[in-house]
Amino acid sequence: METFFIRALQLVLSLSILVIVHEGGHFFFARLFKIRVEKFYIFFDPWFSLFKFKPKNSDTEYGVGWLPLGGYCKISGMIDESMDTEQMKQPAQPWEFRSKPAWQRLLVMIGGVMMNFILALFIYSMILFTWGDKYIALKDMSYGLKFNETAQNIGFRDGDILLSADGKELERFGMDMIRDVVEAKEVKVLRNGET
């Protein structure tokens, strides 16, 4: 039961990070183009919120809702976010989304997706940086390879360590190595300590 709660907490935390990054993209471009952001919430807050904070010299209220299904960034003059039809009846203000040029509105709308894409690139870059290109060389495999029936019919045996194919040294297991072995006329293996 404890494992379930830990995994549930990990899921909520990872989704929270994605929501913060996504909504942060919308927030960043809105503030960059001097568009007022009325609310920035992690999770939804129907009826009440768990936490809210509004700095003194800011128009933005920051908060955490109680319903962990996403988050939102309420941008002034954006009917899709605020559903404030009364505000839409008023003339457009210079700090509203609807008064900005089309290219700025587009960047505000796709800012969340852009930030998620950048986050994905960052995560994959760090994975490659951390785990990178490490492998065990074929010649260092102490137990060799296991071969299927077709390979055994042409002479390979379980435990063989592949050394070279047509004189080309085989370094690592992968599709290139398999292609070299399949296309080769002569393959050298190490079997029971003998080539």
Decide which of 29 and 68 is more confident: 29
Catalytic residue at 23? yes
For position 84, what pLDDT does the model report?
A: 65
Query: Which amino acid, 148?
Result: N
The model's pTM is 0.66
For position 115, what pLDDT does the model report?
A: 95
Using alpha carbons only, how large is the chain's radius of gyration in Å?
Answer: 29
- Mean pLDDT (the chain, rounded): 87
The closest alpha carbon to 37, from 54, 12, 18, belongs to: 54
| E strand or H helix at 13 | helix 2-32
DSSP annotation of 97 reads G
For position 63, what pLDDT does the model report?
A: 92
User: Is the confidence at residue 111, as pLDDT, over 90?
Assistant: yes
Choosing from 23, 169, 183, 186, the catalytic residue is 23
Backbone angles phi, psi at 74, to 5 degrees: -85, 115
User: Is the confidence at residue 87, as pLDDT, over 80?
Assistant: no
| CA–CA dist 91, 142 (Å, integer) | 77
| Most confident stretch, 6-15, 21-30, 40-49, 150-159 | 21-30
Which residues, in sequence order, are bridge partners of residue 168?
165
3-state SS, residue 54: coil
| Most confident stretch, 115-119, 148-152, 174-178, 181-185 | 115-119
Torsion from C-alpha of 145, 151, 157, 160, nearest 10 degrees: -40
Beta carbons of 48 and 69 less than 8 angstroms apart: no
| Per-residue model confidence as pLDDT tens digits over 16-40 | 899 999 999 999 999 999 999 999 9
